[in-house]
Amino acid sequence: MSTPAIKSMNLYSEVDRIHNDLAALGIGSNDPLTVDVLSQFDQFHYFGTDAVDEAIAEAGIGAKSRVLDIGSGLGGPARYLAERTGCRVTAIELQSDLNALAESLTERCGLSAKVKHVQADVLTHQIEPQSYDAVVSWLCFYHIADHQTLLSQVYKALKPGGRLYVEDLFRHDEFDDAELAHLTQMLYGQYLPYRDAYSAGVREAGFAEIDFGDRTDTWRPYVAERVAAWAARRGELVAVHGEAIVDSLAAFYHSVCLLFESGKLGGVRLLATKP
């Protein structure tokens, strides 16, 4: 089978490396796990579980909520949501290796009754209509070119009054050719509209109470510090993962940083409600 195009993003290679992180803490590959320990390694977005706490507050997620997490990665946000609030989560993930690993980590956390993992493309997945109180998504929407279908799937999934919480990337200015190469290869960017076009798409999909929160000024220093911290810890990290993994992730972190530093890449926390 050919390698999916999204694997041009180094973050999605060698995803089993999380076992190296856990082994360095003395945790074997079948040992039980806790969300607290795992959450240092399984949040593939900015500001880790603080960002998930923000979603809990902004989307009003509680013990009775049903939540759909789109592009759930290794399942970090989904497990944290379920553990902190008691909600039930359906976690949709496109990549089969990430999804299988997510499922096994959830089981080892004892959360399989609360978090259901589904390997699917959100664009074509048969979503149960009007069945979710909240839809959440971190750094997935910019991977998906067809935002119209994406937003109609989200709209369909939500109950009336349901909340959408999305963290995503958008465009502040036109990229040059070198930046575009980083964006399309290393970040696998497929859809990066300007702010007005982004909000208009959400409005046209039927959403109300749209709040486009520009997070660029907090995400830019975060990604710069990540590059510096990764370099400072290189020796320790190579001992855990080996050079190839450490250098591959360093290249990914560098590309993200370069694009934010260009002033052309933006970060958004978008909130909206289905009327």
Ligand X SMILES: C[S@@+](CC[C@H](N)C(=O)[O-])C[C@H]1O[C@@H](n2cnc3c(N)ncnc32)[C@H](O)[C@@H]1O
What is the binding site for ligand X (CB under 6 A)? 6, 43-45, 71-73, 76-77, 92-95, 98, 121-123, 138-140, 143-144
Q: What is the DSSP letter of 7?
A: G
Q: Cα(235)–Cα(237) distance, rounded to whole angstroms?
A: 5
69 vs 133, beta carbon nearer ligand X: 69
Structure tokens at 242: 């080996």
Q: What are 36-43's contacts with CB under 8 Å, separation 24+?
A: 38/76, 38/79, 38/105, 38/109, 39/76, 39/79, 39/80, 41/76, 42/18, 42/73, 42/74, 42/75, 42/76, 42/79, 42/105, 43/76, 43/77, 43/80
165 vs 207, beta carbon nearer ligand X: 165
Q: How far is the CB of 193 from ligand X (least distance, A)?
A: 17
93 vs 133, beta carbon nearer ligand X: 93
Report CA 175 to chain centroid distance, whole Å.
Answer: 23
Q: How far is the CB of 99 from ligand X (least distance, A)?
A: 8
51 vs 237, beta carbon nearer ligand X: 51
Structure tokens at 199: 């909000």
Q: How far is the CB of 4 from ligand X (least distance, A)?
A: 9
92 vs 268, beta carbon nearer ligand X: 92
Q: How far is the CB of 17 from ligand X (least distance, A)?
A: 14
Q: How far is the CB of 138 from ligand X (least distance, A)?
A: 3
- Residue tagged 């690993």 (tokens): 101
43 vs 106, beta carbon nearer ligand X: 43
Q: How far is the CB of 246 from ligand X (least distance, A)?
A: 19
Structure tokens at 59: 């989307």
Q: Is the dihedral of CA 226, 229, 235, 237 positive or negative?
A: negative
